[in-house]
Chain A
């Protein structure tokens, strides 16, 4: 197997408190291969989002990545980069989509200007070239190009989320991090968006780190899945194995608590 795109080793992150630290991430290690769709599952507060922020070095105090942690992206030590290198890393190599990203579009700028902002800052592209690239990117996420002069409030939540994804793909990053990207959206829209990402990944070859609490959805789209509990990785395996033969008791309990659409109303507890 060739070297993985992202390699996380012994990652530990604390949130500093006035008296004691809260250990949000405890000695976590995993790899994401080139072009792989990797799922990170867990309940609220388990540390999954903290990991996502650590990879793009977007954590804010009082969080602290403890000494001894290692994050390698395409062989480069992300934790050793200075501010200028980090600026280049974000968007160009790692792009991030949040649950509320659709509300992060600037309400007073047109969609076209938002693309132009990103493209100009990072590549110095001209307005005409940026318009062409923006049209191309909108095509990728199935939005007609006549929407370029629109303002964010004129578009639905699903469309805005797709536009954010298109902006994230503007600089062809190697890794797309999606933190609950569709949780605030309806199932049909969620399905449309994830299907699109699924196809784009195959066409463009980027890797995806997909974070959600929805295990069923994760099994549908991911190649491999890691399950987190209270800051620790309890199980990492192929998606189908996580579903059909979970090893860890917590994973089994999660499955047992998810109502099903067909067959038994809930999965029989495999214990």
Chain B
């Protein structure tokens, strides 16, 4: 990963839920950094803590330990201005395109609001032009789309609107939480391509949260595999997926459907034979970090 100061970083962050005694750590000593023009994929099963990590970034939760760094400095809750700048800079694309747009408002409303809020100088024709530009950017026809209501659009179109809306405030970071998992297979790639284009042309830093490793490989330069609140393996995507070192990563990879292999022919047969052991052992706290290749790390599983 690059040596420059990242836009956004989690520094050794932990967050737990529940009362003392029955406390469950949803996120344990998690550190990662988001850089402009790069996508970082956070891969894990449900309950692995990936959504909690996103919510920590969205400041819906506050870390119990560790810091959230924005352009290298911690965010102080006290200053309203600083928080507002942060809120503008970090935008989110949600999983469910059917719930992320308000059914009672037109697409015009959805795209005008962020402009009115963050570029109040923009008026009349200029604002209409900005709305049209936002839609063109996500490859939608402005004249056709602008007067419509969300229920008149397909899931893929809605997800494009969500992306256009997030981009309308000129953010630096996009958090995409499973943005394609509720879409039909044939429109997923279009959304992923769009995210890739935006990242390149606008220099965005993207955190792509998913359970689908294959799509992570399609969009992300770097990848992290999370299990039970810990990041067990991370590094450059091709290195991690081509040469996975942590047993949990190998288990996950051999379970991903692969049309090239029948059920009898698995990539890491050994891991599939001891699922329970890997699950139990990987959940144990592991402070040790080992570099297994250049820019490729694991927290070794206790034997």
Contacts and interface: CB of A to CB of B under 8 A. Distances in A.
A and B touch in the complex (CB under 8 A): yes
Interface of A: 43-44, 186-188, 190-192, 194-195, 198, 213-217, 219-221, 243, 253-254, 256-262, 265-266
A43 B186 CA distance: 8
Contact of A266 (B45, B189, B255, B256): B189
**Main SS of chain B's interface residues?**
helix
A188 B186 contact: no
A39 B190 CA distance: 26
A94 B290 CA distance: 53
A190 B263 contact: no
Given A187-B45, A191-B255, A261-B253, A44 B214 contact: no
A221 B263 contact: yes
B275 interface: yes
Given A191-B255, A220-B263, A261 B214 contact: yes
Interface string B116-130: 000000000000000
Contacts of B275: 188, 192
Contact of B189 (A190, A198, A215, A257): A257
B21 interface: no
Nearest to A183: B181
24 contacts: A43-B184, A186-B211, A187-B257, A188-B45, A188-B252, A191-B255, A191-B272, A213-B185, A215-B185, A220-B259, A220-B261, A253-B186, A256-B189, A257-B188, A258-B185, A258-B189, A259-B192, A259-B214, A259-B215, A260-B214, A261-B214, A261-B241, A262-B258, A262-B260
A260 B258 CA distance: 8
A243 B259 contact: yes
Given A188-B45, A253-B186, A259-B217, 10 more contacts: A188-B275, A192-B275, A198-B263, A216-B259, A219-B259, A257-B185, A257-B189, A258-B185, A261-B217, A261-B258
Contacts, number: 80
B92 interface: no
Interface in B197-215: 211, 213-215
Q: Number of contact residues on B: which range applies?
A: 20 to 34
Nearest to A253: B186
A231 B41 CA distance: 36
Contacts of A260: 214, 217
A257 B215 CA distance: 10
B90 to A, nearest CB: 26
Interface string B56-95: 0000000000000000000000000000000000000000
Contacts of B45: 186-188
Counting chain B CB atoms within 10 Å of each CB, the highest count among A213, A254, A257, A259 belongs to A259
A261 B213 contact: yes
B46 A186 contact: yes
A233 to B, nearest CB: 17
Nearest to B219: A259
A192 B276 CA distance: 11
Contacts of A261: 213-214, 217, 241, 253, 256, 258
